[in-house]
Amino acid sequence: MTLSASRTTPPPEPRNEAKLAASESLEDYTLRFAPRSYRKWAPGVVATSALGGIAYLADFSIGANIGIAHGTANGILGILVAALIIFFTGWPLAFYAARYNLDLDLITRGSGFGYYGSVITNIIFATFTFIFFALEGSIMAQGLYLGLGVPRPIGYLVSTVLIFPLVIYGMKVLAKLQVSTTPLWLLLMVIPVGYLIAWQPESVADFFAYTGEEGEGANFASVMLAAGVCLSLIAQIAEQIDYLRFMPPRTPENSRSWWTAVILAGPGWVIFGATKQIIGMFLAVYLIANVPGAVGFANEPVQQFLATYQQMMPQWLALLLAVVLVVISQVKINVTNAYSGSLAWTNSYTRITKRYPGRITFLVVNLLIALALMELNMFDFLNAILSFYANLAMSWICVVAADIAINKYLLKLSPKIPEFRRGMLYDWNPVGIVSLVLAGGVSIAIYFGAFGAAVQPFSPLFAVGISIVATPVMAIATRGKYYLRRTDDGIDLPMFDEHGNPSGKTLRCHVTDMEFERPDMIASSKTGENGEPLYLSSLALSTDRLGEHILPADHPSERATD
């Protein structure tokens, strides 16, 4: 009887990928524009949430490592060089994210890479998230081992599993977590440093006199080697943008707070990051000067803070506070790493396959990769990993920044309003892709010594320089013709309000039968039964496997995206 019944059961309806993606992404807007109806936070709340994501302790390790390797003078100069580059390249990206409510992948699509081209940079960014998740997880495991005797392999697992439930629910939970934990985190970090400066002023003199393991004075090559490690953090702007895209509309009433939030939480993150690197260097030098054998563990943040707390309070309390600081810091940054990484992987996979697996699927994937790196003890190879990765990260960020600042605003060859919708863009744009390959390829070759030892330390400068030069040169060479496949999206409603903010007007998507805001919508190439226009969201279009809704190109000879 069961067999007979199964034969007469009608086949299941085809899976509606667009509707599934829309219903699952309403909390985090995985693949699309962040709508006005969702962006209800004040600028200060968004900024605090974004800055909570830079609570990572890897900065302390990075500062300690470059200080031990190159000395205080070279280390500080390298940190400042990297901070200036990161600030000025991050500024146009942060502004576009906050103004147009797009993540960096959507910005990258229309800033020289094309609809599918930005998948390349998405993978670069996803790599950043699991590298830094693994670094922070390793630091937490150090704290759990020191404070509770937890074996490090188990500590790696705990630091990974702990993050999963905190990231499932997206921005609403993350904002509450970041805002609520920031005051305690600041207190635990600032007090011990203030104590050393006030009560042990000789530690400051020792710090500035420290010349590192090589005993070398200030020199340009060492400065650039130090800067190269710090520049690996340039991709942090993408994580800041994952929060900044939820900024409220800019109006005359909130203009001052809006700009303050964008500057501080956008490129301004590097001010806090550079400060932490210098503090990490300072604490490492203090350990080396005052604790026998400390060179072997002076780059571990938990040891840095424990040694300082011990000067102020009983051993048990010092150990407790050091572990609490490490755990809070690891949770604050790794919820951001896990969240942003899951967005990047999901976005890339859905665009390529036209299937939406759910963000949670790639949250698990990202966490498993990070756990594997921790178990392989990547912390011991921190400088080498970051120095190599910096070349790719800088090439990507600098290409996008150059496209916005030069190609959009100076040359006017790139469309000023960012476009991200399928069918409006070409699949591939040689401007960004060729510039990325040139900058990344040459700088990595220099890093591995292909052009001799004399220029090897300067691979970061070549990555930045080639990106900034190649991007406008490619735009001029191609005359900007590979940016927009169409200039009209087929909708008569204005895209922006009277203040230049993305419009909050809504239209119904005929594929998902849901309401979406105007900037996220596009007309379909198909019409209704009575010839009326049909509209669909960029999300629905991204899962259209047959390409039947894609509008024709402005030039009939152009083939539709598939």
Half-sphere CA count of 258, side-chain side, radius 13 A: 16
% pLDDT > 70, the chain: 90
CA 244/CA 94 separation, integer angstroms: 7
- The pLDDT tens digits of the residues spanning 57-84 come to 888 988 999 999 999 999 999 999 999 9
Lowest-pLDDT range of 152-161, 337-346, 422-431, 439-448? 337-346
- For 140-178, write each residue's pLDDT tens digit: 888 888 888 899 899 999 988 888 877 766 556 666 777
pLDDT in tens, 275-329: 999 999 999 999 998 888 777 888 888 888 888 888 888 988 988 888 888 888 8
The pLDDT of residue 379 = 67
The Cα 384–Cα 131 span in angstroms is 12
H-only helix segments in 149-268: 152-161, 164-167, 171-199, 202-209, 220-230, 236-244, 255-265
pLDDT at 34: 85
The mean pLDDT of 225-237, rounded to a whole number, is: 86
For 347-406, what is each residue's pLDDT tens digit?
Answer: 888 888 888 776 778 888 888 988 888 888 876 776 677 777 778 888 999 999 999 999
User: Six-digit token pair at 140?
Assistant: 């937490």
Enter the DSSP assignment of 556.
T
Q: List, in sequence order, every residue forming a beta bridge with 537; answer none if it has no partner.
A: 521
Q: Write the CA distances from 85 to 270, 446, 502, 524, integer angstroms.
A: 10, 19, 30, 42
Q: How do residues 525-547 score in pLDDT, each as one tens digit?
A: 998 888 889 999 888 888 888 88
CA–CA dist 114, 431 (Å, integer): 9
pLDDT one-digit tens code per residue, 485-523: 999 999 999 999 999 999 999 999 988 888 999 999 999
What are the residue ranges spanned by the domains of the chain? 42-387, 492-562
Tell me the C-alpha to C-alpha distance, in Å, between residue 183 and each of 51, 325, 332: 12, 12, 12
pLDDT (mean) for 242-266: 93
Cα separation of 554 and 557, whole Å?
Answer: 9
Mean pLDDT, to the nearest integer, of 185-201?
86
Give the closest residue to 102 by CA, choosing from 519, 467, 509.
Answer: 519
Place of tokens 């203090």: 286
Main-chain dihedrals φ then ψ at residue 523, nearest 5 degrees = -75, 150
Range 126-155 burial, b when 16+ CB lie within 10 A, else e: bbbbbbbbbbbbbbbbbbbbbbeebebeeb
Task: Give the pLDDT band of residue 462 (cuts 50, 70, 90).
Answer: very high
Taking the CA of residue 467 as centre, how many other CA atoms within 13 Å lie in the half-sphere pointing to its CB? 28
Residue 332 has pLDDT above 70, yes or no: yes
Give the torsion sign (CA, 345, 346, 349, 351).
negative
Q: What confidence score (pLDDT) does residue 8 get?
A: 43
Q: Report pLDDT for 169.
A: 65
Which one has a higher pLDDT value, 91 or 137? 91
| Residue 554 and residue 486 in contact, taking contact as beta carbons nearer than 8 Å | yes
Mean pLDDT of the chain: 85
Rama region for 428: left / alpha / beta (φ>0; ψ in -120 to 50; rest):
beta
- CATH class of the structural domain 42-387: mainly alpha
Q: Once rounded to an integer, what is the mean pLDDT over residues 2-7?
A: 37
Q: In this predicted model, what pLDDT tens digit does every residue of 29-40 receive, in sequence order? A: 656 788 888 888
Tell which residue, 383, 372, 323, has the closest CA to residue 134: 372
Where does the pLDDT of residue 126 fall: very low under 50, low under 70, confident under 90, or very high at 90 and above?
confident
Whether the CB-CB separation of 362 and 129 falls below 8 Å is answered with: no
Put residue 418 in one of left, alpha, beta given phi > 0 → left and psi -120 to 50 → alpha.
beta
> What is residue 17's predicted lDDT score, i.e. its pLDDT?
57
pLDDT, mean of residues 119-128: 88
Cβ neighbours around 207 below 10 Å, total? 21
Distance CA 272, CA 51 (A): 9
pTM as predicted: 0.84
DSSP letters for 87-139: HHHHHHHHHHHHHHT--HHHHHIIIII-TTTHHHHHHHHHHHHHHHHHHHHHH
pLDDT of 175 reads 66
The residue type of 473 is V
d(CA 97, CA 234): 16
